[in-house]
Amino acid sequence: MPLQFNPVKLFAGTASQSLAHKIADAYGKELGSVTLSRFSDGEFQPSFDESVRGSDVFLIQSTCQPTDNLMELLMMIDAARRASAHYVTAVIPYYGLARQDRKDKPRVAIGSKLVANLLVAAGINRIMTMDLHAAQIQGFFDIPVDHLDASVIFVPYIKSLKLGNLTIASPDMGGSYRARTFAKFFNAEVVICDKRRKRANEIESMTVIGDVTDQDIVLIDDICDTAGTLAKAAALIMERGARSVRAVCTHAVLSGKAYETIENSALSELIVTDTIALKQESPKIKVLSTAELFAKAITNVNEHGSISDLFRVD
């Protein structure tokens, strides 16, 4: 019996309008229309302006600054289910609260697991995301998770720079696996910045493990929040004799004084994706789009194709 392909409908939440339009263009389909009604007290209600009955619905929404954006996504999922959508996929380019993936001290919540529970309870059939802070978050779901890898976007760009003495660096011990995986694409050495925190977003000390002398260093991370870690790592690496230092981060959270910190840092550039819309432009920030990758993933999901084909790096 031939495979049945249901009609695809793409919708965007408030946080991901720009990226969603790019995804829709790459997919070759216009975004569906959603109205977000607001009450005077801030309460909101999303509603679809067209039928989704029997459709494969893809809801595109990053949950950055997560409270309202997550709630909006949950309500869109609920609305789609109640409107008889055949299959609902939450496309979450940036999965907020992913840093809360375990109990690292007594009496704290595991926020990323709670978000997973909420998404499933709302009625999603599938989740599509990119570069989770911890890959094991996929195990919080008992539904299919398409975990896309931004290295297929970053690696060609880094190759285009033709850096003579490339060395990959991790800004902390926790990111060493990510850095080593990235280094394999270039057959490059890896150095690690070992940091000690006083508390969240505040670094007490940092040391560099490995030789960076006369090297072109590329720091690899998944999230750039205040940019304090990257700035401190870049300064230390340059002090140790590196030729240049730049950073690759998938999710540009960039809170607080992050833009100012980047501008004043030793970084020659910060390379990010558009999973989170930038609040302002910066001559030091290079944005690479994820739209084509997400569009291909949506096509493959709808046509029952392979997602693993999207992990090949040219």
pLDDT digits (tens, 9 = 90+) for 197-237: 556 555 556 888 999 999 999 999 999 999 999 999 999 99
Condensed to tens digits (0 to 9), the pLDDT of residues 30-71 reads: 999 999 999 999 899 999 999 999 999 999 999 998 789 999
First and final C-alpha spacing in the chain: 35
Q: Are residues 250 and 276 in the same domain?
A: yes
- 2 located within any domain: no
210 and 191 Cβ atoms separated by less than 8 Å: yes
Cα gap 96→67, rounded to integer Å: 9
pLDDT at 200: 59
| Count of structural domains, the chain | 2
Distances (CA, A) of 276 to 41, 65, 92, 117, 310: 27, 10, 10, 23, 21
Domain containing 22: what range? 8-149+291-311
- 98 located within any domain: yes
pTM beyond 0.75: the answer is: yes
- 3 located within any domain: no
pLDDT at 313: 78
- 91 located within any domain: yes
Q: Are residues 155 and 145 in the same domain?
A: no
Q: Are residues 176 and 86 in the same domain?
A: no
Q: Are residues 135 and 25 in the same domain?
A: yes
Query: Mean pLDDT score of the chain, rounded to an integer?
Result: 93
CATH code, domain with 256: 3.40.50.2020
| Interacting residues of 10 by C-beta distance below 8 A, sequence separation 6+ | 20, 23, 24, 27, 29, 31, 32, 58, 60, 298
The pLDDT confidence band at residue 22, using thresholds 50, 70 and 90, is very high
Higher pLDDT, 48 or 5: 48
Q: Are residues 161 and 124 in the same domain?
A: no
The pLDDT confidence band at residue 5, using thresholds 50, 70 and 90, is confident
Instruction: Decide if pLDDT at 263 tops 70.
Output: yes
Q: Are residues 169 and 123 in the same domain?
A: no
Active site residues: 195
Condensed to tens digits (0 to 9), the pLDDT of residues 151-205 reads: 999 999 999 999 989 999 999 888 899 999 999 999 999 999 986 655 655 555 6
pLDDT at 296: 97
Q: Are residues 122 and 231 in the same domain?
A: no
pLDDT at 173: 86
- 64 located within any domain: yes
